Structure 1
Amino acid sequence: MNEHMVGTPENARGQRRDSGDAAQRFEIPVTAEQLIVGAALFWTLSANRSFLGAALSGQTPPGGSAGAGLVAAFFVIALCAHVLLLGLLSSRHTAKPLIAILTVAAAAATHFMSTFGVVIDPTMLRNVLFTDPAEARELISAGLLLHLALYAGLPLLLLSRVRLVRRGALRSAAHRAGLLALAVLLLAGATLAEFQPLASRMRNDRALRYRITPANLAWSLASVAGSEARGAARPREPIGLDAAQGASWRGRDKPLVLVLVVGETARAANWGLSGHARQTTPELARLPVVNFPEVVACGTNTEVSLPCMFAPIGRRDYDEDRIRGQESLLHVLARAGASVHWRDNQSGCKGNCEGLPNDRVETSGFACEGDRCPDEGLVHDLDTRLRAAKGTQVWVLHMLGNHGPSYFRRHPPEFARFLPECRSDDLASCSREEIVNAYDNALLYTDHVLSTAIARLQASADKVDSAMLYVSDHGESLGEHGLYLHGAPYPIAPDVQTRVPMVFWASGGFERGAGLEPGCLQPALRSAAARPLSHDHLFHTVLGLLDVRTSLREPTLDLVEGCRGGGAPLARAASPKP
């Protein structure tokens, strides 16, 4: 018994020593600089197919000497970019956590880049960061999980076995400086060696740098964080301080209501009223609406378009910091005396309704099922609101609309008229015909919601003078050129992401209530609809429709300017800028 008791600690120590030796045998001792180079090399090889493919598009095939040199140059650029990123941001203590985070992020980014053809620039990253949880859940697919397992799970398992070698502070600093200097020299050498083709590609595709992954994520995150910090550091700048009521306000004998419906991801190419091969707007087609077939959006995603379309400068003089730092059209209308209310069924008003009355469909008394409310919830109590309306009212309804990729979730079952439709969150599992069918079915439902709103406004025409203006925030790619969803950088975005539908309807008494010349409104808008327009017209036209006087209103962008006795409206098309 004593021998047994004496021997037990020795056996235990031996077992611990053996297990410790086994653990050490599976460790990989490396320096921090070796780990940086290894991680950069892995990312360049595994996460940059989109970058290298776009960079070499249209260039000499790699079989020739010039092509081989260009391939090498782009490879060195991606490699050195990541060496510099890690070399500047990491220390011995933070290298492994930083590499782990970036590896997971890079794996997720490359999945979406390859599946949907998106580019991860600051605009796209902002859109991702500020999306709502329900939207994010729809993007989680078996394909994403498998991709993460292969391109993040296995590398992280290997990273867990890495042991960083300790060195003195001076020696570590010298090695780090040497690595950074070498990366800069290689980067400069590769650029100079192939300067002409590199410069040509960068001029032709300014978004190319946002394909270098995960450097694009780090850069875009820093850009978004900086923009948010600047915005948080100062209050929104008031605009339209001179906003005043026009003469028509004093002569109204009925309330005046403008329902402004902001669509989501509806593209003009599939809009029935604008000539789509199939009728996706059958109910609106039976109503006396004015359709605007050529309208250019401010942006290709909600985070850009929504603030931009409610701003006085719009896309023609686009300045993101200025737009996000100022009040919106709705604040100007409220300052003039209109009662403004925003109802949301999407990801928020993006600052447009800050400090103004607002609610969400799920808190408005509408019974929703699941984590998504149908867009009919936006208008469920419209009759009640019209009966209680007083003065001048502006009601903004922000739709869920056609937000992808789950188009089949955007409409009730009875609107699945174009079959077969894609009934998966993973678009890669569906044919293009199925995707388009699901998308068009969602447009049918948007058509129904808009027609329902008009019917209720028309039913109250004896008590309220009203109008409805619908315009989508941006369009959508449905597989053209290998692109899906939206959010492409504006300078290279396809037309299907920037051309959106817009529709206007007004009750018989709206002209008189708004102080417009009798019989002028419909002809003026139909004349404007024959010309290219843009989101830039929205701000100024709404001011004109409601007879709000302010120096912010540009008469040439007000589509009803000619209906106030000032001659035919110019309605010039704003020239969108990147």
Structure 2
Amino acid sequence: MNLKLESLSKINKKSYFQLSILIALYYALIINIPFYIKLYDILEKSNSMNIGLFLSMPIFIFAITNILFNLISWPYIAKPIFIFLILTSSIVSYVIYNYGISVDYGMIQNTFETDIGEAKSYLSVHSIFWVTITGIIPSLVVAFVKIKKRVSIIKKLVSIFISILIILLIAFFYFKDLSYIGRKNSELKEMIVPTYYLSSSYKYIRSTYFSIPVVYKKIGEDAKQISSNTSKKPTLFFFVLGETARSQNYQLNGYPRPTNEYTSKQNVISFKDVASCGTATAVSVPCMFSALTREEYQESIAKHQDNAIDILKRAGISLLWKENDGGDKDVADNITKTTLNREEISEFCNGNNCYDMALLENLDSDIKNMQGNRIIFIHLMGSHGPNYFKRYPDNQKKFAPDCQRNDVENCSSESIINSYDNTIHYTDFVISKLIDKLKGVSDQYNTGLLYLSDHGESLGENGVFLHGLPYSFAPIYQRRVPLMLWMSDDFEKTKNIDQACLKNEAQNSSISQDYIFHSLLGIMDVTTSVYKPELDLYKKCREIK
């Protein structure tokens, strides 16, 4: 009897190569379903549906993952690694399927730099259910499955060899088709789980934690303020940094809905064609303040040299950063910063979230505590998704019905757009109040404001939601952002700005976030050898006397 039980227990135990095969099958049949849906859609739209190619893809992915899993399935490390992979792959699969977003280097960077409050916004009943079914339960199965202690190297090698033959066989029959589809649809490779997100994670960790230290480079060391006028009033400038606002939903840029109900009455100048530097905050914010253009931008360089804020400080401009988003991405490390406490209960904060109007609190004392010419950087929560409905109070719900959930992919297109437009409308209200604040102190200061969003957003067009796609094939909704200017009469006169000229430029010129570094230096009358007048959006319409 004991011999029978012992034999039965041996039969129930899995070998390491068997475990690899089973998990590879799970990845091929379940985890990579979003990839198959995308591939099917591409083949159908191209009118070249190749059933053999399509049906071979699960086999192809099985072979790839089987090789990978056999290489990592060894005593003591196999279970922890497989559990980690299954859990993270479940999350990645959810993101790809529901938002149409690939988890590339930039998305990994965003994940590492996202705060807890921001991460919570992605939790929903739908996401928890998905991860439970496709991640937690399979992980528990792996945790409790019994594995034979002995590792059969021969069986592992045979399994790997057969997988290689499968890959070669599929490549032999479908290489031309795969090559053509891959060139035309480079995002496809980024949807294969777990290979792409693992390679992206490796690149991010290597460059962030194991790269050779870069020597910090000071630039603009000759920066100084010049007096271009006889005005006795100092300059007070608000730089309002938006979040996830796309230009296409701005009434001032031709959108048919009244999303700019407030600023349209404030004589603002809206630039219609402004390109972002990236499709995520972690790229766009450090890039726009860097002297590097989008084509030149490298995080390793930008983070190790002075940015516009550093140079403005060196020139003697008084600076303050006020924060209600996921942080300044290290661009304001050398100046005073204040961050809203989302855990407090007040008129604009509910213990979990603060509306952007909270940034106006203590603004009068902030201004008074500064010296000379001054800039206040105001970082809005703006239109940060996916829970757009939490970005505006009920009394600012202009468009209804709105989507009252954060798994927006399960809302109607109408309600998603309504919610998003409500965030734009509320941001417009906040900007208008900031302009009113500047008008109120214009007898003491020459006042001006620049509002710019970091990147745009997809609202379900072609099945894509949110943002963060690689710039080369991200939809224009993620790459075009609003930029608005407001200036007091004295600001215009003091800076010798031709408003009619600026309005013409706003309607007919194409600019980008590359202009921000030089526009800040220019408008604050800071002279330095790194300043490029051709990238100063005010310069063409300004006569320096």
Same fold per superposition (TM over 0.5): yes
| Identity rate, percent | 30
- The one-letter amino acid paired with 2:133 is L
- The one-letter amino acid paired with 1:355 is N
- The one-letter amino acid paired with 2:29 is L
- The one-letter amino acid paired with 1:374 is Y
Paired residue secondary structure (2:442): coil
Aligned residues between the structures: 543
Q: Partners in 2 of 1:158 and 1:398 — Cα distance? A: 45
Q: Partners in 2 of 1:410 and 1:482 — Cα distance? A: 23
* Match of residue 10 from structure 1: none
TM-score when normalising by structure 2? 0.91
Q: Partners in 2 of 1:22 and 1:410 — Cα distance? A: 62
Paired residue secondary structure (2:383): coil
Runs in 1 of length 4+ with deviation above 6 angstroms?
Answer: 60-64, 363-366
CA deviation vs aligned residue, 1:285-338 (integer Å, no higher than 9, x gap): 001111111111111111111111111223133333323333322112112221
Q: Partners in 2 of 1:339 and 1:395 — Cα distance? A: 8
Structure 1 counterpart of 2:180, from 187, 200, 221: 200
Mean Cα deviation higher: 536-545 or 21-30: 21-30
Structure 2 counterpart of 1:229, from 209, 213, 217: 209
Q: Are residues 1:47 and 2:26 paired? A: no
Check conservation: 2:243, 2:380, Cα contact below 8 A. yes
TM-score when normalising by structure 1? 0.86
Shift of the 155–362 alpha-carbon distance from structure 1 to 2, 3 Å rule, reads closer
Q: Are residues 1:554 and 2:532 paired? A: yes
Structure 2 counterpart of 1:260, from 239, 242, 252: 239
Paired residue secondary structure (1:259): strand
Q: Partners in 2 of 1:62 and 1:463 — Cα distance? A: 64
Structure 2 counterpart of 1:297, from 266, 276, 298: 276
Q: Partners in 2 of 1:423 and 1:116 — Cα distance? A: 17
- The one-letter amino acid paired with 1:273 is L
* Match of residue 3 from structure 1: none
- The one-letter amino acid paired with 1:280 is T
Check conservation: 2:342, 2:353, Cα contact below 8 A. no
Q: How does 1:99-178 map to 2 (within 5 A)?
A: 99-167=82-150, 172=153, 175-178=155-158
Bigger Rg over Cα: 1
Shift of the 180–325 alpha-carbon distance from structure 1 to 2, 3 Å rule, reads farther
* Match of residue 15 from structure 2: 31
Q: Partners in 2 of 1:427 and 1:490 — Cα distance? A: 23
Structure 1 counterpart of 2:167, from 182, 187, 208: 187
Shift of the 90–314 alpha-carbon distance from structure 1 to 2, 3 Å rule, reads farther
Paired residue secondary structure (2:294): coil
Structure 1's unaligned 5+ residue stretches are 1-13, 568-578
Q: Partners in 2 of 1:259 and 1:279 — Cα distance? A: 24
* Match of residue 506 from structure 1: 487
How many angstroms does 1:130 deviate by? 1.8
* Match of residue 433 from structure 2: 452
Structure 2's unaligned 5+ residue stretches are none
Q: Partners in 2 of 1:206 and 1:268 — Cα distance? A: 26
Q: How does 1:205-216 map to 2 (within 5 A)?
A: 205-216=185-196
* Match of residue 535 from structure 1: 513
Structure 1 counterpart of 2:264, from 263, 285, 288: 285
How many angstroms does 1:470 deviate by? 0.3
* Match of residue 95 from structure 1: 78
* Match of residue 313 from structure 1: 292
How many angstroms does 1:277 deviate by? 1.3
Q: Partners in 2 of 1:61 and 1:258 — Cα distance? A: 50
How many angstroms does 1:96 deviate by? 1.4
- The one-letter amino acid paired with 1:440 is D
Paired residue secondary structure (1:440): helix
How many angstroms does 1:206 deviate by? 2.0
How many angstroms does 1:446 deviate by? 0.4
Q: Partners in 2 of 1:364 and 1:537 — Cα distance? A: 36
* Match of residue 324 from structure 1: 303
Check conservation: 1:540, 1:554, Cα contact below 8 A. yes
Q: Are residues 1:494 and 2:478 paired? A: no
Check conservation: 2:269, 2:502, Cα contact below 8 A. no
How many angstroms does 1:360 deviate by? 0.3
Q: Partners in 2 of 1:56 and 1:313 — Cα distance? A: 40
* Match of residue 425 from structure 1: 406
